[in-house]
Amino acid sequence: MNIAQVPISYIGVMSDLYVPPSLIKYSPLKWPKLILRRIMVFAFNTYNVIKFKREIGQPLNFNKWKDQSIENYIKTNKIFAQSCTKSTALTNSEKKSLEISKFLNSKLDQCCGKHLIEILTKRSENFKILNGKINWELVSIDSNPKITMFNVIPDQDGIGCYVQYIMNLKTTQKLTITNKSNNEIIQENETKVNDYLVYTMNPFNDKILLVGKLFESDSERGLKPELDVFNPSEMQKFVLKSADIYREDPNLKKIENV
């Protein structure tokens, strides 16, 4: 398959890319190995930056890309909150599915991948609070966003045509659920969120789409992806799973021996 012929909106998370874990989570005995992997990630990113300059020949504008990525993230959360609100007003399941899908596609087709929109549609349909109005707010960005992985995606001739990158975004967010009838607050939560968001970019027109989310890798995993990208069934499951930006970190369920 020539990926250059695939619409950018259909390019989900391409692989279970390595995300360097925080050193403070682990014993100092593991730090040398983890630091070495960070150096290897830096070398990988440097190689891909050189590949980008040589094969794509467009300006490197990381600040612009990060700003657009944050805008896409904010819009995605706000529109998803609106879709959940719309869902509470619809009772017919068939009509709900159609209306929510139409709403999300019309609002997010320029900032999200198709797989992510599909997941958001399912989540909205299953939102259960009766007569609730949902509002999402970005309270603050708590540190400078960082692009932790930068990967040039080649076409069938090995020449770069797309870029996929991971951006680490640390934020404080507020989610408020109120009663539509009297505006009484049903639930209000303010949380700190540390996201590793995955974006696909067309470097020739600077179109950037949020396509999913990954999590920090554990201390034992190497840089080589564990996913078999040549297994269509396994790949499809991974793309849909990683497109869910609201799923829980699987590492939270593990007890780390340090």
pLDDT at residue 82 tops 50: yes
pLDDT band at 256 (very low <50, low <70, confident <90, very high): very low
**3-state class of 200 per DSSP?**
strand
At 109-133, the pLDDT tens digits run 999 999 999 999 999 988 877 778 8
Residues 74, 59: Cα–Cα separation, whole Å:
25
Which pLDDT belongs to residue 181? 80
At 2-42, the pLDDT tens digits run 898 999 999 999 999 999 999 998 999 999 999 999 999 99
pLDDT at residue 200 tops 60: yes
- The residue-averaged pLDDT of 208-221 equals 94
pLDDT at residue 196 tops 80: yes
At 165-187, the pLDDT tens digits run 999 999 999 999 998 888 889 89
pLDDT at residue 50 tops 60: yes
pLDDT at residue 250 tops 90: no
pLDDT band at 226 (very low <50, low <70, confident <90, very high): confident
Which pLDDT belongs to residue 81? 95
pLDDT at residue 105 tops 70: yes
| Integer Rg of the chain from CA | 20
pLDDT at residue 254 tops 60: no
- Write down the mean pLDDT value for the chain: 91
Residues 35, 41: Cα–Cα separation, whole Å:
10
Which pLDDT belongs to residue 229? 76
Domains of the chain by start residue, with CATH: 12-217 (3.10.450.240)
pLDDT at residue 164 tops 80: yes
For residue 256, which phi and psi values (nearest 5 degrees)? -85, 125
**3-state class of 119 per DSSP?**
helix
For residue 77, which phi and psi values (nearest 5 degrees)? -65, -40
Crossing angle, helix 114-125 and helix 93-108, to 10 degrees? 140
Supply the DSSP string of 60-107, one letter for each residue: P-HHHHHHHHHHHHHHHHHHHHHHHHHHHT---HHHHHHHHHHHHHHH
180 Cα distance to chain centroid: 30
Min mean pLDDT across 58-62, 116-120, 221-225 is at: 221-225
CB within 8 Å of 166: residues ≥ 6 apart: 17, 19, 147, 148, 149, 196, 197, 198, 199, 214
pLDDT band at 257 (very low <50, low <70, confident <90, very high): very low
